[in-house]
């Protein structure tokens, strides 16, 4: 039998009274040296980052409720200036930018909101959130003591604070907003601006606080923040962090629970056990507010990805995946962690700092004990290699390597960060799924689920090479890319005409040489054409380009297509960064000296003809002439393709598999899905992954030798059941015939729990008593399994109660095995969306092997519960 015990713990309940038009009874927020104080009570808060424009409004409520179910108290988001003010003075608060609706949904679900206004946000978002028009304001210098910049920044910050106040969204108005942020990681670049940096930082702080928002403001990574602003920590670990005053609480604004990805890079993952360790260490050592960056990462739709070269997926390996599905075991393990921390909250808030006890060379306890009645403790083993047995209050505890045990009553282990008792889910995905365990094991790959919904008939249209409309213009010399495009398109055509004489040709023939085009410096991508023929391309950030070209006698047209792949989002002097070409563009290899093309007359054309015609839109533009694409067509570069497709039935999220394509952009029903690029990650570096030891973004990577991103999220709300218009702009010679539509869902679920597993927190019932206390009842451990919404358990691949071996997708029976394992598990789970099974002899009809610790390991498949394709208006 499992251990049985009982203890009582006081839980501070969130007052979630919904008064007419308000989400909460109005409350004040302040802070002291220990914690954020909400309505007069210190709180230990778990926050989760969700950036509203990285999902659709139709996804928001599900994301918020999954966050709440995961034990999150606060939702954090940046504010995206360039989304809200695409043209100076013209605001957009609609659709994915309906921030008021998002904040209200957070409030109505009873969660708080932490609004990071910036308005510089970095966020791997185009231009760090700055509108590109900001560059054109005369005399402007960003993020320094510069009057034009400060005026623009203040105007926008004021606008957002006023909007939140008008909508009664601050806590003291009964709204969910409890905290605000001004600027973002300015401390990283402040010194680049000399004394003007500090002056700007002080101005920003004062300006923000002067807006009388009535809730605390923070500045992250700002060790010199003024006394009335909380300076906070961002990083993988923040347990050693101390703010610059004892009057401020320890706040972790960005806990990087994953990492972002660039085109052509491996895909980073952060092991669940290490994230849990970092969170537990933070609260162990006096932390009070922790925000996951990201709790849901989502998608960089359209051209919102930052750069250079941030991919369209912003999955971030977050607890909720890009598509809005739970990432397991990450989500579940952190949920159990949050529950354990919440059980400690009464003791954690009761004392100003914990009592430290050294338990061993790399083992330590922090005890929060108050008045003999409340006591919670954290026992840490920071040894990266070995388990340790420690003695604490006359009891022995076994601590796995690199782990923290949480003892809400200073006696009972409610949770250990390295012991996962929740399910693992393996999904259909374009990215590799990583599987980590205590023993380094090979990363697992899985085969995507194939469904074909796309018709094989495609139409196509060629994009002209070079100027295509009367909006072209000429200029002698090379203009800076962003100065010309204003970022209305990634693409800028540059064409010039040169004359090649007989003499030049015979010189090259005699010397068996050819002329070479050189560009001193270029970013992010360039295609080179001579007389309409593609000659080569180059990618990089301020790299030199050298390309041999063939020229003919007479006039030759040299055309360069300069492309941005997301504007710079990080660093000082962003306004000076620019794009396109720098330095000289020269044709070398002539008898009579180089030709300086930088000094010739150039014809400029911004964007693509197809973009201008909006040929991706569902309204046919009369001036477009699509033709049928024969299946054996000789394809050309720079083509538009279109077809129609049916949406997969059911509720599963949908993806476009573009692994057969090259580089370009894609639209569905007129919605811009984003850029795509099947650039392969380096072949090496995807070794095994061990959760133990300090994490960095190169430690646990997948997708070596494969495209960084193959699947692209199409939100369900952008689809109808049939006849969905798909338009692709492809820059290489790939054909669209192999493009397919995929369902993304949890295909395989596994779990493995022993009868001596820690108290199954997720199984605890929390009955409230009249005096406000709750009793926690420990019963036997349970296994909990769940398929995604709309799916049910369709088969049991493995079930063994006894001493099974191996891990998910590789379980095998051990010496001890209950013959009833399969039937008990099948009966409990088959045909259901979720099920739970107690790990006890009674459930399995007797003890299969006396005196041995039994484990239940299961592996099951999930599939769509309705075989009929239902209509998809979600
Ligand atoms: C919040 O604080 C203000 C100013 O101290 C006070 O007037 C107000 O009554 C407080 N509101 C609540 C709900 O405590
Ligand atoms: C400490 O506990 C005792 C009884 O356990 C109680 O009477 C007393 O009020 C408590 N003190 C505080 C400051 O809560
Ligand atoms: C470029 O612009 C000029 C002047 O507006 C126009 O005459 C010419 O036709 C344009 N070129 C193309 C390819 O449209
Ligand atoms: C861009 O244009 C502005 C004037 O509008 C000019 O001051 C600036 O030097 C230009 N930038 C580059 C890199 O040419
Ligand atoms: C059709 O193309 C024209 C010319 O580029 C453009 O101005 C117009 O907006 C397009 N119409 C639609 C419905 O997209
Ligand atoms: C609250 O009630 C429970 C039983 O309902 C009891 O065990 C507990 O001692 C009470 N706690 C306090 C602080 O009175
Ligand atoms: C604890 O669990 C046992 C067995 O399930 C049950 O009999 C008992 O009533 C429970 N106690 C509480 C306080 O819920
Ligand atoms: C499967 O498990 C067995 C032992 O249980 C192990 O030897 C083998 O390497 C595992 N295979 C994979 C692919 O994980």
- Compute the distance from residue 805 Cα to the ligand 8 centre, in Å: 9
Q: How many domains does the chain divide into?
A: 5
> Strand, helix or coil at 339?
helix
Q: Choose the residue to mutate in 466, 472, 602, 613 for probing ligand 3, maximizing ligand atoms within 8 Å of C-beta.
A: 472
Q: How far is CA 209 from the centre of its chain?
A: 30
Q: How far is the CA of 783 from the centre of ligand 7 (A)?
A: 19
Mutate to test the pocket of ligand 4, among 133, 483, 581 (most ligand atoms within 8 A of CB): 483
Q: What CATH number does residue 829 fall under?
A: 2.60.120.740
Domain contains 2: no
158, 104, 402, 146: which is closest to 277 by C-alpha? 402
For β-strands 491-500 and 554-563, DSSP reports them as antiparallel
User: Ligand 1: which of 15, 29, 38, 172 to mutate, judged by most atoms within 8 Å of the beta carbon?
Assistant: 172
Q: State the catalytic residue, choosing from 124, 152, 254, 364.
A: 254
* CA pair distance 360, 381, nearest whole angstrom: 9
Q: Decide: 771 in ligand 6 pocket, CB within 6 A.
A: yes
Structure tokens at 836: 């739970």
Closest Cα to atom 13 of ligand 2: 371
Among 70, 653, 533, residue whose Cα is nearest residue 336: 70
Domain range enclosing 415: 354-419
Residue 780: predicted pLDDT:
78
| Alpha carbons 217 and 253: distance in angstroms, whole number | 12
DSSP of 559-610, one letter per residue? EEEEE-SS-B-SSS-HHHH--EEEEEEEEE--TT--EEGGGSEEEEEES-HH
Which alpha helices (DSSP H) does 660-753 contain, by range? none
8 Å CB contact between 585 and 598: yes
Pocket of ligand 2, beta carbon within 6 A: 371, 373
What are the backbone angles phi and psi of residue 334, rounded to the nearest 5°? Answer: -70, -30
Active site residue 384: no
Instruction: Give the model's pLDDT for residue 776.
Output: 52
Nearest-angstrom CA–CA distance, 56 and 300: 11
Ligand 3 atom nearest to 603, measured from its CA: 1
Same domain (yes/no): 576, 720: no
User: How far is C-alpha 334 from the geometric centre of its chain's CA atoms?
Assistant: 17
Residue with tokens 């369900």: 716
- Among residues 141, 152, 183, 185, which one is catalytic? 185
**Listed residue (95, 63, 99, 126) closest to 675, CA to CA:** 126
Tell whether 74 and 187 lie within a shared domain: yes
Residue that finishes a domain, picked among 700, 725, 743 = 743
Q: How far apart are CA 99 and CA 699, in angstroms?
A: 36
For residues 788 and 428, the answer to whether their CB atoms sit within 8 Å is no
In this prediction, residue 758 carries a pLDDT of: 67
Residue 517, domain CATH: 2.60.120.260
Question: CATH code at 699?
Answer: 2.60.120
Q: Is the CB of 22 under 6 A from ligand 1?
A: no
- Residue 317 per-residue DSSP state: T
For residue 472, CA distances in Å to 172, 485, 605, 611 come to: 55, 12, 5, 15
Q: Are residues 62 and 86 in the same domain?
A: yes
* 1 within a domain of the structure (yes/no): no
**Counting ligands in written order, which one lies closest to the CA of residue 442?**
8
Q: What is the pLDDT of residues 20-39, one digit of tens each?
A: 457 999 999 999 999 999 99
Phi, psi angles (nearest 5°) of residue 841: -60, -40
pLDDT, residue 794, reads 95
Of 137, 3, 123, 138, whose CA–CA distance to 51 is shortest? Answer: 123
Q: Are residues 820 and 775 in the same domain?
A: yes
> Would you call the peptide bond into 119 cis, given omega within 30 degrees of 0 as the criterion?
yes
Relative to beta strand 363-370, strand 36-38 is unpaired
Q: Report CA-CA distances (Å) from 624 to 208, 393, 629.
A: 50, 79, 15
Q: Check whether residue 447 and residue 481 sit in a common domain.
A: no
Domain with residue 181: its CATH number is 3.20.20.80
652 and 766 assigned to the same domain: no
- Which atom of ligand 3 lies closest to the CA of 473? 2
Q: Which atom of ligand 4 is nearest to the CA of 578?
A: 13
- 326/338 same-domain check: yes
The last residue of a domain, from among 607, 625, 656: 607
Residue with the smallest CA separation from ligand 6 atom 7 is: 8
Segments of the chain with pLDDT less than 50: 1-20, 430-451, 760-775, 867-874
Distance CA 675, CA 672 (A): 9
Tell me how far the alpha carbon of residue 374 lies from the centroid of ligand 2, in angstroms: 10
Q: Report how far residue 21's alpha carbon sits from residue 32's, in angstroms, rounded to the nearest whole number.
A: 31
Neighbouring residues of 541: CB distance < 8 A, sequence distance ≥ 6: 308, 523, 524
Q: Is residue 55 reached through a cis peptide bond, with omega within 30 degrees of 0 on the bond before it?
A: no
Rounded to whole angstroms, the Cα distance separating 401 from 360 reads 13
Task: Please tell me the distance between residue 807's alpha carbon and the centre of ligand 8 in angstroms.
Answer: 8
Distance 445 CA to ligand 8 centre (A): 14
In the numeric block, the tokens 């085009």 are attached to 517
Verify cis geometry, omega within 30 degrees of 0, for the bond prior to 294: yes
Q: Are 401 and 692 in contact (CB under 8 A)?
A: yes
d(CA 342, CA 737): 53
User: What residues does ligand 7 touch, defined as CB less than 6 Å away?
Assistant: 767, 775, 777, 779
What does the block give as tokens for 55? 């999902």
- 167 and 305 inside one domain: yes
Residue identifier of the C-alpha nearest atom 13 of ligand 3: 468
Counting ligands in written order, the one closest to the CA of 614 is 5
Q: Where are the alpha helices (DSSP H) in 52-180?
A: 57-69, 81-84, 99-108, 147-166
> Are residue 343 and residue 358 in the same domain, yes or no?
no
Is 429 part of a structural domain of the chain?
A: no
214 and 112 both lie in a single domain: yes
Quick check: CB of 472 below 6 Å from ligand 3?
yes
Predicted pLDDT at 632: 80
Task: Show Cβ contacts of residue 84 under 8 Å, excluding neighbours closer than 6 positions.
Answer: 91, 92, 93, 97, 99, 156, 160
Which residues are CB-contacts of 451 (< 8 A; sequence separation ≥ 6)? Answer: 648, 740, 741, 742, 743
Nearest ligand, CA 27: 1
Cβ atoms of 4 and 779 within 8 Å: the answer is yes
Is 147 in the same domain as 170?
A: yes
Is 185 considered catalytic here? yes
Nearest ligand to the CA atom of 17: 1
| Pick from 180, 175, 248: nearest CA to 212 | 180
pLDDT of residue 779: 63
- For residue 316, how far is its CA from the centre of ligand 6 (angstroms)? 44
Give the Cα separation of 615 and 638 in Å (integer). 14
Closest C-alpha to ligand 2, atom 9: 371
* 3-state DSSP of 353-394: CCEEEEEECCEEEEEEEECCCEEEEEEEECCCCCCEEEEECC
- From 332, 349, 366, give the residue that closes a domain: 349
Q: What is the DSSP letter of 57?
A: H
* Rounded distance from Cα 810 to ligand 8 centre (Å): 6
What residue has token string 């007989």?
A: 502
Token digits for 732?
A: 């290489």
Supply the residue whose CA is at minimum distance from atom 10 of ligand 5: 613
CB-facing half-sphere around the CA of 264: CA atoms within 13 A: 8
Q: Which ligand is nearest to the CA of 6?
A: 7
Q: Looking at the structure, tell me whether residues 277 and 385 fall in a common domain.
A: no
| CA 220 – CA 206 distance, rounded (Å) | 15
C-alpha 371 to ligand 2 mean position (Å): 6
**Surface-to-core class of residue 659, CB atoms within 10 Å of its CB (0-12 exposed, 13-18 middle, 19+ buried):** middle
Query: Is 425 within the bounds of a domain?
Result: no
Q: Whose CA is nearest to atom 10 of ligand 1?
A: 28
- What is the Cα–Cα distance from 183 to 753, expressed in whole angstroms? 45
User: What tokens were used for 112?
Assistant: 């708080």
In a domain, 597, yes or no: yes
11 in a structural domain: no
Alpha carbons 122 and 568: distance in angstroms, whole number:
9
**Closest residue to atom 14 of ligand 7, CA basis:** 777
CA 815, chain centre distance (Å): 43
Of the bound ligands, which one is closest to the alpha carbon of residue 612? Answer: 5
In a domain, 316, yes or no: yes
Instruction: Take atom 10 of ligand 7 and give the residue whose Cα is closest.
Output: 777
- Distance between CA atoms of 486 and 480, rounded to whole angstroms? 10
468 belongs to a structural domain? no
Of all protein residues, the one whose alpha carbon is nearest to atom 1 of ligand 7 is 777
Rg (Cα) of the chain, in Å, rounded?
A: 30
């Amino acid at each position: 039998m499992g251990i049985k015990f009982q203890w009582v713990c006081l839980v501070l309940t969130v007052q979630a009274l919904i008064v007419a038009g308000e989400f909460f009874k109005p409350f004040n927020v302040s802070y002291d040296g220990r914690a954020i104080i909400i309505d007069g009570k210190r709180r230990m808060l778990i926050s989760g980052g969700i950036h509203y424009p990285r999902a659709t409004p139709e996804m928001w409520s599900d994301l918020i409720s999954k966050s709440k179910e995961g034990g999150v108290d606060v939702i954090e988001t940046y504010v995206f200036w360039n989304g809200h003010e695409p043209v100076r003075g013209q605001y957009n608060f609609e659709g994915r930018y309906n921030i008021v609706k998002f904040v209200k949904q957070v409030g109505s679900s009873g969660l708080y909101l932490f609004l990071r206004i910036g308005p510089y946000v970095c966020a791997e978002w185009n231009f760090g959130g700055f509108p590109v028009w900001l560059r054109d304001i005369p005399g402007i210098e960003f993020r320094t003591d510069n009057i034009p910049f400060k005026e623009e920044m203040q105007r926008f910050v004021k606008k957002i604070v006023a909007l939140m106040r008008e909508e009664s969204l601050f806590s003291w108005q009964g709204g969910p907003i409890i905290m605000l942020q001004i600027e973002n990681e300015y401390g990283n670049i402040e010194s680049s601006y000399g004394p003007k940096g500090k002056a700007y930082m002080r101005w920003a702080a004062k300006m923000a606080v002067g807006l009388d928002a009535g809730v605390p403001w923070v500045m992250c990574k700002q060790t010199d923040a003024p006394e009335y602003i909380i300076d906070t920590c961002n990083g993988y670990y923040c347990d050693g962090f101390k703010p610059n005053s004892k009057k401020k609480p320890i706040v972790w604004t960005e806990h990087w629970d994953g990492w972002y990805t660039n085109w052509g890079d491996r895909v980073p993952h952060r092991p669940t056990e290490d994230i849990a360790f970092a969170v537990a260490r933070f609260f162990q050592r006096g932390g009070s507010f922790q925000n996951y960056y990201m709790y849901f990462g989502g998608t960089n739709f359209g051209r919102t990805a930052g750069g250079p070269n941030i991919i369209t997926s912003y999955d971030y390996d977050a607890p909720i995946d890009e598509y809005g599905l739970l990432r397991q075991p990450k989500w579940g393990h952190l949920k159990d962690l949050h529950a354990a921390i919440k059980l400690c909250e009464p003791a954690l808030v009761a004392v100003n700092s914990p009592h430290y006890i050294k338990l061993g060379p790399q083992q330590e306890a922090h005890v929060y004990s108050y008045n003999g009645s409340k006591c919670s403790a954290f026992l840490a083993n920071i040894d990266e290699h070995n388990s340790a047995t420690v003695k604490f209050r006359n009891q022995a505890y076994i601590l796995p390597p690199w782990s923290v045990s949480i003892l809400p009553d200073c006696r009972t282990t409610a949770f250990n960060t390295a012991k996962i008792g929740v399910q693992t889910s393996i999904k259909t995905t374009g990215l590799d799924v990583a599987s980590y365990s205590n023993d380094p094991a090979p990363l697992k790959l899985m085969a995507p689920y194939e469904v074909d919904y796309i018709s094989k008939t495609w139409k196509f249209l060629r994009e002209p090479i070079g100027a295509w409309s009367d909006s072209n213009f000429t200029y002698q010399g090379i203009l800076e890319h962003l100065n010309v495009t204003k970022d209305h398109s990634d693409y800028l055509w540059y064409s010039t005409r040169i004359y090649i004489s007989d003499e030049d040709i015979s010189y090259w023939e005699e010397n068996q040489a050819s002329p070479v085009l050189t560009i001193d410096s270029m970013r992010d991508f360039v295609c080179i054409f001579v007389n309409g023929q593609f000659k080569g391309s180059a990618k990089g950030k301020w790299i030199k380009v050298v390309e041999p070209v063939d020229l003919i006698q007479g006039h030759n047209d040299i055309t360069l297509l300069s492309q941005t792949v997301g504007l710079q989002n990080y660093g000082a002097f962003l306004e000076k960064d620019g794009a396109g070409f720098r330095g000289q563009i020269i044709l070398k290899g002539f008898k009579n000296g180089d030709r300086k093309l930088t000094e010739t007359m150039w014809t400029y054309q911004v964007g693509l003809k197809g973009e201008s015609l909006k040929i991706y839109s569902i309204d046919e533009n009369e001036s477009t002439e699509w033709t049928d694409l024969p299946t054996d067509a000789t394809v050309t570069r720079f083509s538009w393709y279109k077809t129609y497709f049916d949406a997969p039935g059911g509720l599963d999220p949908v993806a476009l598999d573009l692994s057969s394509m090259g580089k370009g952009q894609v639209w569905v029903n007129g919605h811009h899905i984003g850029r795509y690029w099947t650039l392969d990650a380096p072949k090496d570096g995807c070794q095994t992954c061990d959760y133990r030891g300090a994490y960095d973004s190169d430690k646990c990577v997948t997708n070596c030798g494969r495209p960084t991103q193959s699947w692209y999220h199409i939100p369900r709300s952008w689809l109808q059941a049939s006849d969905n218009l798909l338009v692709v702009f492809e820059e290489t010679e790939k054909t669209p015939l192999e493009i397919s539509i995929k369902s993304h869902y949890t295909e395989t679920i596994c779990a493995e729990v022993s009868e001596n597993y820690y108290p199954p927190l997720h199984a605890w019932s929390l009955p409230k008593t009249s005096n406000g206390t709750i009793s926690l009842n420990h019963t036997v451990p349970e296994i909990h399994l769940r398929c995604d919404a709309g799916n049910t358990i369709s088969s049991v691949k493995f079930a063994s109660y006894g001493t099974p071996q191996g891990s998910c997708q590789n379980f095998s029976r051990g010496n001890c095995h209950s013959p009833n394992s399969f039937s008990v598990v099948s009966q409990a789970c088959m045909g259901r969306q979720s099920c739970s099974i107690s790990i006890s002899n009674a459930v399995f009809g007797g003890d299969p092997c006396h005196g041995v610790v039994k484990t239940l390991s299961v592996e099951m498949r999930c599939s769509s519960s309705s075989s009929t394709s239902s209509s998809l208006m979600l």
